[in-house]
Structure 1
Amino acid sequence: MSSRSVSARVSPSARRFVRRLSAGRPGHVVHGAKTLIAALLTWCAAAPWAATGRPFLAVATALLMVNASTVHQSVTKAVHSVAARVAGLVLALGATRLLGPTAGAAAVIALLAVPAGPRRAADDRLQIASTAVLALTATATGPVGGLVDPALQTLAGAVVGIAVNALVLPPLHLDESDSAVRELAQAMGSLLHDMGAGLEGRRLTSRAHGWLHRARSLDKRIVRAEEGVRAADESLHRNARCVAQTRRGGVPAAEAFSALRGVALQVRGIARTLADNAHDRHTGHHLGHEFLDRYAETLRRAGAAVQGFVEPPGPTGAAGAMPRERLRLAMDGVLAWHDTVTALIGGGALTKPGAWHVYGSLMTDVERLLADLDYADAHATGASP
């Protein structure tokens, strides 16, 4: 069988997986190197004084800490892990002294550790219970040594894991955050542009339901972008790399996301108004063609403004207008169209009996959309809004 026929039989999902794996290879190499360093350092540090000379518990703890997604999370996990394991060892020691290393001691541990306490701490309580049950034998053979050695191993592994995670290329999630925010802006800009093109092509009735569905599906992108922004902000805490690496210019991801979340409300409002109007049975409520033509141009310019809002800055001296200049041009164009259409509505040139509320809703949503972008851009660049 030829190689071409074999590659043809590979599923698209398998090819996507290979491409994703190849794209993330540098990150996997870094994680692998940090994991190996943490394991070796922990073994060398804990082996001389570990009770058996084999500090597996210390190494296991270090691996958990070094693979935390952020330095802040590694510190938080270390505190919870050390506290939970020490509590489990103390519980095991008490149960062993009262009942001995028997099934009764295991039952007491399960009754005390698992059902008690708030539900939100269920993971910690399960870790306490599992640690206590596993420590029953050790505490039975040597109560004091069985308590102190695992506790010290956990503490040593946590310290080494945090140190390696914080000092050896500590993780940053700025790229993922910026990418998620940029994808959100691209999706909203594309939807605005498509709505403009559909209005110009007299396809309001056939496309309105699809536009509304796309507007509502923006919620998933908003959640993903919010998670990315939160992870990026958390990754900067206690991170040595943030001292030497500043964030890229332009509107910061957190501020851009805050503005885009408000813009999404206006985009959804525009889509909902158009969908309602397309299926309104009252002919007097339908939008006029002249207004739709002018509003189509407004939506296309608004889409360009939304997409330009998150464009990364180019190199100094690059040809063409800078992102802020392109954003201002797009916004100025929309404002000009807005003023023109508002004047026509006010003069009675575009109104139809019973349709004034539809005109007002559409124009207000565009005006608020631009106001959100203008305020966020001016606040980020220090200019006057």
Structure 2
Amino acid sequence: MHAIRAAVRAVRGQVLAAGRAVRRACAGPGRERDLVVQACKAALAAWIAWAVAGWWLEAPMAFVAPWVAIVLVEETVYRSVAHGLQQLAAIATGTIAATAAALLLHDTMLAMAVVLPTVVLLGHWRRLGSQGVYAATGALFVLTGGSIGVTTAAARITEAVFGAVVGIAVNALIRPPLYLRDSRAALRDATEEAHDILRAVADGLAEDRWDAGEAGTWHERALRLRRLVDDSRVALGRSRESLRVNLRRRTVAPGKDYDDAVLVLDYAAVHTAGVTRTVLEAANHSTARPHPHLSHNYAEFLRQTAHALHLYGHSRFGDRSDRELRQAVDELHRMLDALRRSLTRSRPHHPDEVATYGTLLAQAHRLAAQLVTPSSDPAPTAAPATAREG
């Protein structure tokens, strides 16, 4: 009974999530609307390919055209072209190999035993990429599709070529996808999460709340932050790829400032995880707890670090100026010097206490070192304007 209730809750959660996604797609531009547009384009490509090959021309292998067309309406136009070429090469190889084996051996089962291991191995060839599986698919279509001959094989390859042309053309000519908005959103999400984690840890240290459960939650969030940074890196690569072979391209690709932001967030994720791990170990009594006065000073430093990260995100991708960020980073380094002096004056009574605070201080130094002032780099101006169009 408990399992049934859990399943019902899971289904209800999925339905609610789907409803929220639909509302976001209807509300305005975003990832959800992009997915809807791409799905409609894929369906249109398949319909056009079938209408021409199956209904109008009545081609013998008409089903191949819509099948290839629908899978080649990909996330980016460049990927459609690259995967289209790979897929056609794989289909042609599998089709030719299966046809030749069947005609030479005069036995479909024997031909299947000979050809399939070869084409499956060929599917792992690096030059075919993720499309290598279509070599085996093409061979199976030949060996299980009835009549086998040179004419039939030529028809399959011709229909595949036509479907690829339709899929690529639809993706390239009808609202070709751009993902600049996704890069900025992913970077903002990672920056704000880093800010929130550091603020939460700072509040806990300031109030002397070193509860193991709460410290464990902070550390889990810090570990998830690394995945958000990885998502940002993937989104940035997809943004740049979406501008290649794209007729909608009206701006430059994301510049070095985006790469710098990912690098800063990467370091922030690593050292935030280091801070939360040290706090968790102290909460679990694996290491000594530093003196409350030292903890309070460290909490103030974390608050300033969180503030600097927040300003960094707005300076790079928002409406704040570099001047505020420079002031925040200068203050951060002053607070770091004060932390070093407070450790020298405090003379902790236990060596483990010195080790704990020294570890926290090392992470603080590394965090501050990464929040460099971006005044020497040009601010991103062109990309945000176009990001709203994607």
TM over 0.5: yes
How has the CA–CA distance of structure 1 residues 241 and 367 changed in structure 2, closer, same or farther, with 3 Å as cutoff?
farther
Residues 1:272 and 2:277 are matched in the alignment: yes
Which residue is equivalent to 1:218? Answer: 225
User: Which residue, 334, 337, 340 being the options, matches 2:335?
Assistant: 337
Paired residues for 1:201-212 under 5 Å? 201-206=207-212, 207-212=214-219
Which residue is equivalent to 2:93? Answer: 87
What CA distance in whole angstroms lies between the structure 2 residues aligned with 1:18 and 1:48? 37
Root mean square deviation, CA, Å: 3.3
Aligned partner of residue 352 in structure 1, secondary structure: coil
Contact 1:93 1:139 (8 Å CA) reproduced:
no
Contact 2:123 2:133 (8 Å CA) reproduced:
no
- Deviation of 1:368 (Å): 1.9
Which residue is equivalent to 2:292? Answer: 289
What CA distance in whole angstroms lies between the structure 1 residues aligned with 2:93 and 2:194? 51
Which residue is equivalent to 1:24? Answer: 25
Residues 1:307 and 2:307 are matched in the alignment: no
What CA distance in whole angstroms lies between the structure 2 residues aligned with 1:39 and 1:177? 30
How has the CA–CA distance of structure 1 residues 180 and 340 changed in structure 2, closer, same or farther, with 3 Å as cutoff?
same
Deviations 1:241-300 (A, max 9, x none): 23x145689x84433122101111111222223333445578xx5422322222211111
Greater Cα shift, 120-129 or 56-65: 120-129
Greater Cα shift, 296-305 or 365-374: 365-374
How has the CA–CA distance of structure 1 residues 342 and 111 changed in structure 2, closer, same or farther, with 3 Å as cutoff?
closer
Aligned partner of residue 222 in structure 1, secondary structure: helix
How has the CA–CA distance of structure 1 residues 213 and 133 changed in structure 2, closer, same or farther, with 3 Å as cutoff?
closer
**Aligned AA (2:108):** T
- Deviation of 1:350 (Å): 2.3
What CA distance in whole angstroms lies between the structure 1 residues aligned with 2:96 and 2:286? 74
Paired residues for 1:367-382 under 5 Å? 367-374=365-372, 377-378=374-375, 380-381=377-378
How has the CA–CA distance of structure 1 residues 204 and 87 changed in structure 2, closer, same or farther, with 3 Å as cutoff?
same
Contact 1:101 1:136 (8 Å CA) reproduced:
no
Contact 1:170 1:239 (8 Å CA) reproduced:
yes
- Deviation of 1:40 (Å): 5.3
What CA distance in whole angstroms lies between the structure 2 residues aligned with 1:225 and 1:271? 22
Aligned partner of residue 348 in structure 2, secondary structure: coil
What CA distance in whole angstroms lies between the structure 2 residues aligned with 1:137 and 1:11? 42
What CA distance in whole angstroms lies between the structure 2 residues aligned with 1:252 and 1:62? 37
Which residue is equivalent to 1:96? Answer: 102
- Deviation of 1:65 (Å): 1.2
Which residue is equivalent to 2:385? Answer: none
Deviations 1:181-226 (A, max 9, x none): 2222222111111111111111135543433333233333333333
**Aligned AA (2:181):** D
- Deviation of 1:31 (Å): 2.5
**Aligned AA (2:371):** L
How has the CA–CA distance of structure 1 residues 125 and 72 changed in structure 2, closer, same or farther, with 3 Å as cutoff?
closer
- Deviation of 1:19 (Å): 1.4
**Aligned AA (2:111):** A
Task: Indicate the structure (1 or 2) with the bigger Cα radius of gyration.
Answer: 1
- Deviation of 1:72 (Å): 2.0
Paired residues for 1:41-60 under 5 Å? 41-42=48-49, 46=53, 52=59, 55-60=62-67
Overall identity of the aligned pairs, in %: 27
What CA distance in whole angstroms lies between the structure 2 residues aligned with 1:137 and 1:205? 65
User: Which residue, 236, 260, 277 being the options, matches 1:255?
Assistant: 260
**Aligned AA (2:331):** G
Which residue is equivalent to 2:4? Answer: none
How has the CA–CA distance of structure 1 residues 112 and 358 changed in structure 2, closer, same or farther, with 3 Å as cutoff?
closer
- Deviation of 1:36 (Å): 5.1
User: Which residue, 364, 367, 381 being the options, matches 1:366?
Assistant: 364
Contact 2:86 2:132 (8 Å CA) reproduced:
no
How has the CA–CA distance of structure 1 residues 105 and 193 changed in structure 2, closer, same or farther, with 3 Å as cutoff?
same
**Aligned AA (1:150):** R
User: Unmatched 5+ residue regions in structure 1?
Assistant: 1-9, 315-321
What CA distance in whole angstroms lies between the structure 2 residues aligned with 1:111 and 1:328? 62
Which residue is equivalent to 2:200? Answer: 194
Q: How many residues align structurally? A: 357
Contact 2:120 2:136 (8 Å CA) reproduced:
yes
Residues 1:72 and 2:70 are matched in the alignment: no
- Which aligned segments of 4 or more residues in structure 1 are displaced greater than 6 angstroms? 119-123
**Aligned AA (2:17):** R
User: Which residue, 41, 49, 68 being the options, matches 1:61?
Assistant: 68
- Deviation of 1:313 (Å): 2.1
**Aligned AA (1:367):** H
User: Which residue, 349, 367, 373 being the options, matches 2:345?
Assistant: 349
Contact 1:109 1:133 (8 Å CA) reproduced:
no
Which residue is equivalent to 2:237? Answer: 230
**Aligned AA (1:92):** A
Residues 1:153 and 2:159 are matched in the alignment: yes
Contact 2:61 2:156 (8 Å CA) reproduced:
no
TM-score, L = length of structure 2? 0.78
